[in-house]
Structure 1
Amino acid sequence: MIKRKKTGAFTYTSVIMADHKTKLLCKRLHSDHIALIDHPDVDEMAARSLQDAGVSVVINLSPYMTGKYPAEGARKLLQDGIKLFEVPLRLYDVTLIEQLDGCQARIEDDQLIIHAGQGECQSIPLEAVTEEHIQAKWLEANRSLDETLSRFIDNTLQYAGREKDLFLKPLCRLPLRTRMDDRHVVVVVRGKHYREDLQTLHAYIREYRPVLIGVDGGADALMQAGYIPDLIVGDMDSVSDKALLCGAEIVVHAFADGRAPGQCRVQELGVPYHLLPAPGTSEDVAMLLAYEEQAELIVTIGTHTNMIDFLEKGRKGMASTLIVRTKIGTKLIDAKGVNQLYQPRWSWKLWGWCLAAMLTPVGAALVINPVARHAAQMLWTQWRTWAY
């Protein structure tokens, strides 16, 4: 990998790693790769995944921000010093993902130069994404926010009316070995601030020993925080093999008609699993499962709860989540963003009490123990001799 600055130009040579799904791409990205994505309105979680991979350059076949709603991802990436480029819309070609994955390439003078071998090169023009460009799109998105919200509400109510009967019926009963009746249950989704919220709730988890449910990548979030999930619920598209093999009970979320794309993956790994056909999102199913297993309290971390959350996931409404949360409301505590509510602060008074607590047993030993008292007298005499 070669990275160097020229006068008024940016040059970067490396291997392109490409995928239609950013979350899958980030699993195989290294810090010296050029990331090629096809992700309109890059969300904050996708940006964090790219940051964690350590990449310096990201090329997007779609606009980082379309102006439909204020997506946070591009801002986060630019603030982290990552160079962003877009392929002009007139040159958009979805097949570029397959064509360029694994190719050696160079970015120079806003051109992506592909080394095809035997001295042949292919050149694709790029458009550098600046903070000014993103700010203009941000203002555009905020101007149209009311209209976007109106459409979102209409979609939510329309689908809620169609799907309400599906959620009134109980889920299929599963022979789970994990008992949730009369226990607290923590449902973890890899959404905004999930790491900080998990850290904030560490004392609660340690004291109450709740059942820990990871929704897809939420299982990895639990393991990164030092916990082992009791259950993993989801369509298995973003959870790691390590999490699936950690010993947790696995519930594969299937469509209401029984189709389950994630079933093949757990079968290939040879791990036992339960199949649960149900409407809605996997996090909705996880909450419903805890509710129907008679959990005393359901605490959610990182779940999707507002319009921006759902638009970032490509959903134009939140009918299933609205119905599920309305159904289980009395048992539900949403801990999303709890880390922003209160951060414990150290004060001088607290430091003083800690110092006093440490010095008290030392003072007591000097008063009671003659050997310690004699040693203290010798040190005092030595100090006076040195001082004077």
Structure 2
Amino acid sequence: MRFSLRRHVTPEPAGVGGTVRVDARTKNLTKRLRPGDIAVINHRDIDQVSAEALVACRPAAVVNAAESISGRYPNLGPAILVDAGIPLIDRAGEGVMAAVSDGELAQVSDGDLVVGDTVVARGTLMTTASVQEALEDARAGLSTQMEAFAANTMEYLREERDLLLDGVGLPDIRTDMDGRPVLVVVRGYHYKEDIQILRPFIRDYKPVLIGVDGGADALVEAGMKPHMIVGDMDSVSDATLTSGAEVVVHAYRDGKAPGLVRVEELGVRDPVVFPATGTSEDIAMLLADDKGADLIVAVGTHATLVEFLDKGRAGMASTFLTRLRVGSKLVDAKGVSRLYRTTVPTWMLVVLVLSGFLALFVALASTPAGDTIFQLIGSRWDGFWSWLTGVFE
């Protein structure tokens, strides 16, 4: 632990300063983090999605109480922060979470977090070189994580085999998906870019829009209205929850659903409770598959092995098995964009533009007003040409 008790020092001129924002949960902190703030988090193995959310907020610095790279696997987040030019103080110690208050003014200098004249925490300033070294060490232990992932996959399969194989336990819902394409949006990897490239697909095919927690807000931000919201309701806004979409609350296997209390307090009509072991994006896909969707397009979800491990949760094995379950119906958003995008040759565009100008010319030439315009243009051209030849003579 690198946390130390407050002690007086002479402040150094080097470093960056800003308002401290403290939260042990990074995704909660990014909702109120503003450009120039100092983010104080307690996030072991910062993943890619969390790092990209932090970078989007443009903080002056990030102080992590935990290990940004623990060595369990080569997580992608720290490199994203460092490459974005955001100072990352690593292993500042859990005591920093209580040592600073939200809204305090502070300064980050080298590996120190300074409030006033006092060092309240001391960690290690991560650099590109130190991040790469830590990632190399983490890759050496990747086989251990692979074994744990495989073991967890078998455990999940034993617990949820009836749900995965036969759909036992899937709730009834109002949203009609039979024979329709479904778009499942998770606020994850490159979700904003994926939504943008899918706009032609959404416009033409009008799929059922399912937002997974914050993914519902992503749809609203893109100017769309979700038909269904799925999740534990910890990262979706009140306005989106009450927008009229059908709400499916993801509950624990024993039936406890903490998110249901919030939904009922907001007065959401007829929420559905779905107890399941996996992640919320999994149950969204399982619902779409069971209710007859002919295509499931995934936005921001986990697709590769690195992404599964990067989330750092044992439950990610459920996502792996769910993808096997929905099979040929599931298409990644970027795959759809590549299949759906049409390309028009440059020569065809040139011909189209020239044809338009030719049609305009013929239309103008056949009218008295057009004839007058052409005479005026010709007169101006003669004057310009006379002036130009006179200059050279």
Question: TM-score category by the smaller chain?
Answer: 0.7 to 0.9
Other-structure match for 1:101: 101
Structure 1: runs of 5 or more not aligned: 1-7
Deviations 1:134-178 (A, max 9, x none): 1111222233333432332233224323431343343343341x2
Structure 2 vs 1, CA of residues 161 and 278 (structure 1 numbering), >3 Å: closer, same or farther? closer
Shift in Å at residue 121 of structure 1?
3.7
- 1:73 corresponding residue in structure 2: 77
Equivalent positions of 1:287-326 (< 5 A) are 287-316=285-314, 318-326=316-324
SS of 2:182's partner is: strand
Kindly indicate whether the alpha-carbon contact (under 8 Å) linking 1:193 and 1:336 is maintained by their aligned counterparts in 2: no
1:31 to 35, 59, 66: 35
Q: Are residue 242 (structure 1) and residue 243 (structure 2) matched?
A: no
Q: 2: distance between equivalents of 1:295 and 1:112?
A: 52
State the one-letter code of the partner of 1:105. A
Given the superposition, is the C-alpha separation of residues 384 and 199 from structure 1 closer, same or farther in structure 2, using an over 3 Å criterion? same
Cα distance in 2 between the residues matched to 1:260 and 1:166 = 19
TM-score by length of 1: 0.87
**Letter matched to residue 331 of structure 2:** I
Distance 1:281 1:109 in 2: 39
Equivalent positions of 1:5-24 (< 5 A) are 10-24=14-28
Q: Secondary structure of the equivalent of 2:15?
A: strand
Question: Which residue of 2 is the match for residue 135 of structure 1?
Answer: 132
Matching of residues 122-271 of structure 1 within 5 Å: 122-167=119-164, 168-176=166-174, 178-271=175-268
Provide the C-alpha distance between the structure 1 equivalents of 2:192 and 2:110, rounded to a whole number of angstroms. Answer: 39
The AA in structure 1 aligned to 2:152 is N
Mapped contact 1:163–1:320 kept (Cα < 8 A): no
TM-score by length of 2: 0.86
CA distance in 1, matches of 2:139, 2:119: 39
**What whole-Å deviation, never above 9, does each CA across 1:282-322 have from its counterpart, x for those lacking one?**
11111111122222222212212333223332323644234
- Once residues 127 and 324 of structure 2 are traced to their aligned partners in structure 1, the CA distance between those partners, rounded to angstroms, is 42
Residue 194 of structure 1 contacts residue 336 of structure 1 at CA under 8 Å; is this kept in 2?
A: no
- Kept after mapping to 2: 8 A contact 1:216/1:234: yes
Is 1:110 paired with 2:111? yes
Paired AA for residue 209 in structure 2? L
Change (3 A) 1:36 1:383: same
Change (3 A) 1:247 1:333: same
Q: Tell me the residue number matched to 1:4.
A: none
CA spacing shift, 1:338–1:135, aligned 2, 3 Å: farther
* RMSD of equivalent CA atoms: 2.5
CA change 1:197–1:353 in 2 (3 A) is farther
Rounded to whole Å, the distance in 2 between the matches of 1:318 and 1:107 is: 35
- Measure the CA separation in 1 of the matches of 2:262 and 2:122: 38
Distance in structure 2 (CA, Å) of the matches to 1:343 and 1:41: 37
- How many residue pairs align between the two structures? 372
SS at match of 1:257: coil
**Structure 2: runs of 5+ lacking an equivalent:** 1-11, 387-393
Match of 1:380 among 373, 378, 381: 378
The separation in 2 between residues aligned to 1:99 and 1:127, in whole angstroms, is 17
